[in-house]
Amino acid sequence: MELHIRKLGHRVSASVASGEAALEALGKERPDLVLMDIHLEGGLDGIETARLMQERGGPPVAFATAYTDVETRTRALAIMPLAFLPKPVGPLELKALVRQLASLS
């Protein structure tokens, strides 16, 4: 995904494996978008991490995940993400996501 994002002309400011590391990175960088997996290492999953980011005034979050069961989708959609993208996420989906983000500005 990082390669596709770069090919679209955007910078990846951080790529981390845990929710805790994502929150720490958000304290150092102010990205325009967070592309979040739901299954993360550590004590926080991606949904809880995204919720905490929202509470801290963070950027919009889009989920990219292999978890598409009803319970997971319901939890994820409750925080109103910009998108819920099933993996694998290809360049067309990422391009559409970037357009969607640009339309919010």
Domains located in the chain, CATH noted: 2-104 (3.40.50.2300)
Q: What is the pLDDT of residue 24?
A: 97
Edge-to-edge strands, sheet with 83-86: 34-36, 61-65, 83-86
46 and 19 in contact (C-beta within 8 Å)?
A: yes
State the pTM of this model: 0.91
- How long, in residues, is the chain? 105
Q: Check pLDDT > 90 for residue 102.
A: no
Residue with tokens 């102010």: 30
DSSP state of 89: P
Nearest to 65 by CA among 30, 99, 40: 40
Task: For residue 73, name the pLDDT band (cuts at 50, 70, 90).
Answer: very high
pLDDT at 1: 86
d(CA 5, CA 13): 11
6-60 tens-digit pLDDT: 998 899 999 999 999 999 999 999 999 999 999 999 999 999 999 999 999 999 9
- Res. 105: pLDDT tops 90: no
What gap in Å lies between CA 21 and CA 5, rounded to an integer?
Answer: 21
Residue type, 93: E
Q: What pLDDT, on the 0 to 100 scale, is given for residue 96?
A: 94
